[in-house]
Amino acid sequence: MTKRVLITGAAGFLGSHLCDRFIAEGFRVVAMDNLITGDLKNIEHLFGKERFEFYHHDVTTFVHVAGRLDYILHFASPASPIDYLKIPIQTLKVGSLGTHNLLGLAKEKKARILIASTSEVYGDPLVHPQREDYYGNVNTIGPRGVYDEAKRFQESITMAYHRFHGMETRIARIFNTYGPRMRLNDGRVIPAFIGQALRGEDLTVFGDGQQTRSFCYVNDQIDGLFRLLMSDYTLPVNIGNPDEISILDFAEEIIKLTGTDQKIVFKPLPKDDPLQRQPDITKAREILDWEPKVDRAEGMAKTYEYFKNLSLEDLLKSEHKDFSKHIRK
């Protein structure tokens, strides 16, 4: 029988790519989003497909889905520092109350649930690269704490449901992922730099740019997540690309890629901005037989192509189309 999967955060960047993957794998997809940071344009191409349905719903309130569910992927949550600083209470609620609601639904439906955790659970890490057994270094009361602690709580409650109720749970610790359908104005470094290059603005490097990140192309990420869901492994697994680069070197790469004649300007480093980040993916390699295949040059070329083809209107501000006839209340 065709398997049915619920994906929350489905109109967002990762959620929309997950919808594509599960449709391509032959699943029935129930997509859910409250559109607080997402955009229906990301899943517009799926509307009208017999195996796809969309619910406009805030998962911090009781979540009801009629019929059976085999899998749940909980991806609803603001994900960029700009977004979660703008909506801190919603960020805390979707990671805590939202996760509680979805675990309750998974228990009721006897569904396997995968939750989207993050490298932010390691905070500003004192261990490098980050392995899953590192407990992290998080400032609970700093501005990023709303996201980091919500995600840490999310992991705790998920393990509690696994241990206490014997549920099938999966925890993905996702490291910086990029690709088409990121929101141009979400403030994350890749859309920020590309948007600046396309608009003819200087590239804003925060701090001295010596902080590092390791960027994973979206198709690799989605494949890792799919494998984790289908595996029988319950503890957290890092999913990301270990190819680490400083933000300053990355800005130089963007200047080359886009051919912009703009320069780099330095802005203050945001509070608690992690100074280094690189996943240790030994576990993913061993347990999921997974590793990233798309290098940064290839992934960034595809991503730039996507942003370049957006209209001027999109480049400045996302336009809103009327999708009301496709939405189930």
Active site residues: 147
Q: Considering CB under 6 A, how many residues would be counted as binding ligand UDP? A: 15
φ and ψ of 4, to 5 deg: -120, 130
Buried b (16+ CB within 10 A) or exposed e, 164-193: eeebbbbbbbbbbbbbbbbbbbbbbbbbbb
**Residue 213 interacts with ligand UDP (CB under 6 A): yes or no:** yes
CB of 18 to ligand NAD, least distance (A): 9
CA distance 274 to 118: 13
**Residue 195 interacts with ligand NAD (CB under 6 A): yes or no:** no
From ligand UDP, ligand NAD, none, interface partner of 204 (C-beta below 5 to 8 A by class): ligand UDP
Q: 154 and 92 in contact (C-beta within 8 Å)?
A: no
Measured from the CB atom, the residue of 114 and 247 that comes closer to ligand UDP is 247
Residue 19: HSE in the Cβ half-sphere, 13 Å Cα cutoff: 29
By CB under 6 A, which span of 32-40, 46-54, 203-211, 255-263 interacts with ligand UDP?
A: 203-211
**Residue 15 interacts with ligand NAD (CB under 6 A): yes or no:** yes
**Residue 205 interacts with ligand UDP (CB under 6 A): yes or no:** yes
User: Segment 161-190, which members bind ligand UDP (CB under 6 A)?
Assistant: 176, 187-189
DSSP-derived letter for residue 318 is -
**Residue 123 interacts with ligand NAD (CB under 6 A): yes or no:** no
Q: At what angle do helices 145-165 and 99-109 cross, to 10 degrees?
A: 20
From ligand NAD, ligand UDP, none, interface partner of 205 (C-beta below 5 to 8 A by class): ligand UDP
Measured from the CB atom, the residue of 161 and 175 that comes closer to ligand UDP is 175
The tokens of 243 are what? 């190819």
CB of 15 to ligand NAD, least distance (A): 5
CA distance 268 to 288: 39
CA distance 21 to 100: 26
From ligand NAD, ligand UDP, none, interface partner of 238 (C-beta below 5 to 8 A by class): none
CB of 93 to ligand NAD, least distance (A): 7
**Residue 278 interacts with ligand NAD (CB under 6 A): yes or no:** no
The correct pick among 28, 72, 77, 191 for binding ligand NAD (CB under 6 A) is 77
Continuous segment of H or E residues that includes residue 5: strand 4-8
The correct pick among 86, 273, 314, 315 for binding ligand UDP (CB under 6 A) is 273
**Residue 211 interacts with ligand NAD (CB under 6 A): yes or no:** no
The correct pick among 252, 270, 287, 318 for binding ligand UDP (CB under 6 A) is 270
DSSP E strand stretches across 34-121: 52-56, 71-74, 112-118
**Residue 13 interacts with ligand NAD (CB under 6 A): yes or no:** yes
From ligand UDP, ligand NAD, none, interface partner of 247 (C-beta below 5 to 8 A by class): ligand UDP
Least Cα distance to 213 among 125, 93, 324, 323 occurs for: 125
- C-alpha distance from residue 108 to each of 5, 99, 102 (Å): 14, 14, 10
- C-alpha distance from residue 75 to each of 13, 33, 79, 173 (Å): 10, 9, 10, 12
Q: By the criterion CB under 6 A, which residues form the site for ligand NAD? A: 8-9, 11-15, 33-38, 58-60, 75-79, 94, 98, 116, 118, 174, 176-177
Q: By the criterion CB under 6 A, which residues form the site for ligand UDP? A: 80-81, 176, 187-189, 192, 204-206, 211, 213, 247, 270, 273
